[in-house]
Amino acid sequence: MEKTLEQHHSNCIKVVLFGPESTGKTTLSKALAKHFDTDWVAEYAREYLQNKWDLEQKTCEPSDLLPIAIGQMQLENAAAKTNDLLFCDTNLLETKVYSEVYYNGYCDPLINHYAKKNCYKLYFLCDIDVPWVADDLRDKPNERKKMFSAFERTLQKQELSYVLLSGSKQQRLENAVKHINELLIPKI
C-alpha cells in the first residue's frame, strides 16, 4: 500500500497547480500543457467523487481519501514515465489540506507522510480572484479566503517555495510560462 503513494523515480520536471476549489487549476494545467506541448495530470478526486455523487448522492468521506490519493499517484507516475515536463492539477499535499480542513485536522498518516515526501520542482498557488463556478462537488463559495489561507499556510509550513498566480486567465498563463521558462533555461 505504501508504495502506491510514492513517486516513482523520474527525470520529469513536475509542476503543481495548488489551491482551493474553483481557482482555475484545471484550466491553467491544460493551457500550460498545450503551450509546452506536454501532458497534464487531471485531479483524480473529481472523477472519483463525481461518480460517487452520481451513484449515491454522497459527498466525500474520510474513507474516500486513501483511494483518491492512490488514484492520483497512479495517474502522476504513469504520466511522468513519458514526459520531461508534467503539469499536475493537484497532488497529495492538496489532499492533505482538504482532509485537515474538512475532518477537524485529521489526515491519514500515509497521505500525510507522502504529501510531505513527494517532490515537485514548482508550485503555483492559484488565487481566489476569479469568479466562483458551482458544480456538484464544490461547497465552500463563502469560505474562499479561509480555504486559500489554509493552502498558503501549508506551503509555508512545509517551506515550499511557490509563485502566486492572480489575475485573468491570460495573466496567470503568462506569469506561469515566464516562471517555467526560467526553470527550463539553464543559468549561465
What the chain holds in terms of domains, given with CATH numbers, is 2-181 (3.40.50.300)
Mean pLDDT of the chain: 93
Angle between helices 65-80 and 92-102 (to 10 degrees): 170
Instruction: Give the tens place of pLDDT for each residue, 3-31.
Output: 789 999 999 999 999 999 999 999 999 99
Mean pLDDT of 51-58: 86
Torsion of CA 76, 120, 23, 42, to 10 degrees: -10
Instruction: Give the tens place of pLDDT for each residue, 130-185.
Output: 988 877 777 887 899 999 999 999 999 999 999 999 999 999 999 999 999 999 98
Instruction: Give the tens place of pLDDT for each residue, 90-107.
Output: 999 999 999 999 999 999
pTM score:
0.93
> Which among 124, 113, 127, 117 is positioned nearest to 167, based on CA atoms?
127
- pLDDT of amino acid 2: 54
Residue 1's contacts (CB-CB under 8 Å, 6 or more residues apart) are 110
Mean pLDDT of 47-64: 88
Torsion of CA 36, 26, 41, 86, to 10 degrees: 30
Residue 117's contacts (CB-CB under 8 Å, 6 or more residues apart) are 6
